Amino acid sequence: MSLLLVAKNRDMSSLGEAIRATDPNIDVDIWPGVRNRERIQFAVSWRHPDGIFESYPNLKAISSLGAGVDHLFADQTIPEKIRFSRVVIPSLAEQMADYVLTAVLNMFRDTGTYIDQQRAGQWKKHPPLRKDEVTIGVMGLGELGRESASRLAMNGFMVNGWSRSKKELNGIRTFSGDEIDQFLQSSNILVCLLPLTEETEGILDLELFKKLRRPAYLVNVARGKHLTEEDLIYALDTDLITHAVLDVFEQEPLPDSHPFWGRKKITITPHTASITDPREAAELIVENYKRVLSGIDLLYEVDRNRGY
Ligand code: NAP
Ligand code: GLV
């Protein structure tokens, strides 16, 4: 039996080496150099070309190389019986919490304005936001949202959190499901850490922006399709939103002609908030590979009915 690694735009060789170092007995094939398709029972994908899994007759499960699994659900050709799992490792949550804390601190301390002022040789003070007046609202209290929300709370910020099911988290005011309006109306800086599903696609739209407490800010670190891009432009132009920090986009890489590039009120990073470390991921992948071969439950298995 062998394990398949597939990615359209990512070099999988370091992951292959890390898997072989973790267990030298595992045969690893890196797409497109597959030796025998019939031997593949488990695959690890990062944005594979749609349709490729149809030619693996003994495939039983596919793991996303990241925490997000939307690219697996997007490929409608993958049969229902194939199980999905994902890579959730401590460094993913740690990096995300670092990114979110940095974005929030930059908003509080107006870092972008001071960088511009320095370039213009301008000495001008702006009052920082106050921690007792501005609340951060984290949408999604899963593996990454919980860590990010807790890190903010540990740093003295007032934090709200919203998830599908109710949560109890130290130092965080939590809301669930249909309490979304209360959550939004008491949040200034909205951090999106939801999975991309039919229910959450396009959730960051004008109607939602209008409900936020002012001044309002946005941090989208989940998926580009959560955001209705034209609504953000309108919200920034009409001062409904003061500033947005975006790490993910509907189309990645963000096209050269995209209107977001030239905007001072938008900070762009190239989907870099949290990146899977191949050495750390290898252990979990090897464990799940063995579980597939023995027919037992996968770690971090995705609920295919729920969509995340
Ligand atoms: P996760 O563990 O699956 O957690 C998802 C959270 O969202 C859960 O709290 C869930 O509620 C909540 N949720 C799902 N659907 C909801 C709905 N309709 N209404 C309200 N709450 C809902 O996800 P994760 O691993 O933390 O990942 C979060 C996001 O980060 C994903 O979009 C992923 O793709 C993205 N990501 C981005 C990067 C990057 O570099 N930018 C890196 C990794 C991941 P329950 O707790 O009640 O189930
Ligand atoms: C990155 O976006 C991931 O899903 O891990």
pLDDT class for 33, splitting at 50, 70, 90? very high
Q: Cβ(221) to ligand 1 under 6 A?
A: yes
Compute, in angstroms, the gap from residue 191 CA to the centroid of ligand 1: 11
Question: What value does the mean pLDDT take over residues 208-220?
Answer: 98
Q: pLDDT at position 32, please? A: 95
What's the fold here for domain 2-89+276-294? Rossmann fold (3.40.50)
Look at domain 90-268 and name its CATH class: alpha beta
User: pLDDT for 132-142, tens place per residue?
Assistant: 999 999 999 99
pLDDT at 264: 94
Among 197, 226, 276, 302, which residue has the most ligand 2 atoms within 8 Å of its CB, making it the best to mutate? 276
Report the predicted TM-score, pTM, of the whole model to 2 decimal places: 0.97
For residue 126, indicate whether it is catalytic: no
Q: In the chain, what are the domain boundaries?
A: 2-89+276-294, 90-268
**223 is known as an active-site residue:** yes
Residue 30 phi/psi, 5-degree rounding, is -110, 120
Q: Ligand 2 centre and the CA of 59: distance in Å? A: 23
Calculate mean pLDDT across residues 270-291.
97
90-268: same fold as 2-89+276-294?
yes
Looking at every residue in the chain, the average pLDDT score rounds to 97
pLDDT at 206: 98
pLDDT, mean of residues 61-75: 98
Tens of pLDDT, residues 85-95: 999 999 999 99
